[in-house]
Structure 1
């Protein structure tokens, strides 16, 4: 068996497994993890000095879901077709020793020789058994194990624990080769921690263990400490379709899909995202037959009058129009003649997915609904929906494919309009933070993980001028300015009142900082025997004052006009109370 054309994960893991080392692999779905542990399992078993004995298990693969376990079993079965003895044993579903004995008996009685090729009794083979719920009962699993004596188990935690708890199933120290925990983060998300600990307790301590996970969280780290010995850690990032290519894909989709959709609904996850993209998305909309797509927005934080006006405009339009909205328009609204539904952000609640799709193709009319998913872990959302009886198919139109150049061009267009008004920059920052919070709270948390995201690419996808300050970016060591050069002192608001206030604050903060610095410097020039300690105090006060003024300036800039008005009223009230307190006579006694 060869290792040609291996993925980075396979190339990293195979030498380590073969070299008797435990491994922890952090890599997304689709990066070659399955073959990375199946190839070493096959290699180790085939190189054993003696063939695996009856009812002895050599390797175990634990998977969080039935679907993934089936997939691993299928891949291993396909791999074993290249090893004739294993293929023969797999086809016959008999242990090689039993198969050999039966053939010898047939020869002794003069019966016709079996058509299968018979191999020497000492020939090592790999014979897997799949243990998942739904097909057979645990008792039937055990009966099949005793009959066929497989040496590789591929299982979900519950069914595996049922089987290895039987005294008839042996995992001897001398023959057990490898334990693999695939998708360990999902195993823990789905509540299998107790079962995993019980499984590990029933296996030999001296073994090779491989843990594969999209993210190594604190919970996964606990399993590492309990089940692995000084593991080698491998982190592999696989670049697929970027988030920055979603909007260019929409542009191409609307350009070439035929006939042109009359009404299109685009779903985003938050109100702030709708509020921001309503200003930038129109720059990316194509023209068709000398007509442009008009765009209206609808979200829960709009005033009722605006919502009614925008909804009426969309519902009554006779020319191509797009509704940019949240789940406020996912159900309960009767919108006629919707041809296309685009879900840029999959909904938090999977039940809402069907409601969104149901907006298109109503009353016997044909419709198309597309959800945008990034290759890798997000593609598991397809299986997630399929389990919930919502099967989807891949939409693979060549003309909808986009390139990095398309993504850069879209980002530049959005940034051009954002640079015309500092208000749009603030909307973008709030929208991005709100999206991150919504993404992190998705019900399918093992599929939608912020830790898997490329923050720099997301910044480009949103046309940001810089990444916002947020806890999720504490470990981000990239360029938070996204390579965009902005003179933040000059970059202003279109609203003249807001811009005048911003410039006024800049001047005031600058004067205060200079005065404080000058006063501190003059005090430091006074030479006294005990002055050094006080100078240090002055320096700390100066720095604290600067930080306070800077925070106040940033807070003021982030306020809306209404918020600033309320703040000024509050400050006036506080000043009035202070003046009244100063005018009040000192208390003497209760005498008249």
Structure 2
């Protein structure tokens, strides 16, 4: 079915109730989108639905409207404590978004009650809310719903016995995020005589298995765009730019400065990368609102998400936790500073803009050795990418970031962790024939990150610092202080305690090691303990401690022990 089909709400058959029409009018929707016009009539006719449509096509109302209509004739006669509709969605943000739309809709249905249950809140509190609210419509994430079903003092299973409508939103991601066990367990606890809607932007083998298990002879609806072979909206233009590793951040900042009045979502690969670069961008773009969100933020995520939704312009830095199903008004640009870990996530990321017919643009940053990814995305995801020239006169950010790192230990430590996490992300990338770790410019990347020195990590074990193109900034890194005085005090205390423990460990090694006792007299031993050991001496002592442990465990003989210690 093509993406040109639209329908007036009044023309949908079976006809919608006056309350539903008033709710839609209040939301400002004049007519149904193609996916809504295709799905709603079948859903209202007691059919199971499998709907696949491009992101931003209006899938949320495609299942909320049938839910409102189906339960409208049940609420007056059914037990008020029964859950009549269950909506399962993979992330909190998407659950909040669905709940927000539903809250607006049910203003026209004063007898309807809904409840949202997501991770990050006490399970006992959720149980109390279920008992108190007794919702007709329950929205939840699979992990939280699974936890609630496992509680012995909870009657959720009984409340679901009269379920009329089940909706699995973003079904492909429900499974890709590891929720298969939770979803399967949930399906077993639901009545078989129900209507089920499965909605997603893409279909996978795992989704097909779920369809066979959870749906009965469903109607499949695939809404595509007329005369289009691409998988993104026609109103979306996708760009790429090739940038050396040491200039990648500088090029990003130059781009952002050219679009100061725009509303931009900026995707990075890792949580710590979001934390690190959001601090740098906040320093470089002081007149721009820079927000950050990722999966490890837990309770703060929704407040940040809601804040960005209400901004006219600004930057939201995030991981792929924001890549699916999230509807943020008037996003001008989606920028991918790091490539997505999976090719399918490219389409989901860029789908945060150009929603519901509006225009939008996206930009993908690639390193020169990653240029094959352009053709791969065109072939694999059917997305055409155009080259976009960015100011080539940009200067490396290294010195400015290093200056900030030397002032704030938080920045210094996050930079190292962000670099390590990106290398680990790169090493595990799905497209490892394109993103080859051995071809990555480690030195240029570290310079671009503004690191003072390279971290210790296996990927750099056999590389000399100078051979990577990296120039370290030599200083005593232990002197870098936390901006937070309490945290700095705790750090100094740990250093002091660690030094004491280290001295005690060295003294114990010397006392237990008979060979060392022969080599050093008591005076020299006392002097050795009191002075600051070099790295070489510490390595030697650690080696002897390991050998002594092997000797005591009988893994080596006394003769071997003495020979190895003397070497």
User: TM-score if structure 1 supplies the norm length?
Assistant: 0.44
Structure of larger gyration radius: 1
User: TM-score if structure 2 supplies the norm length?
Assistant: 0.46
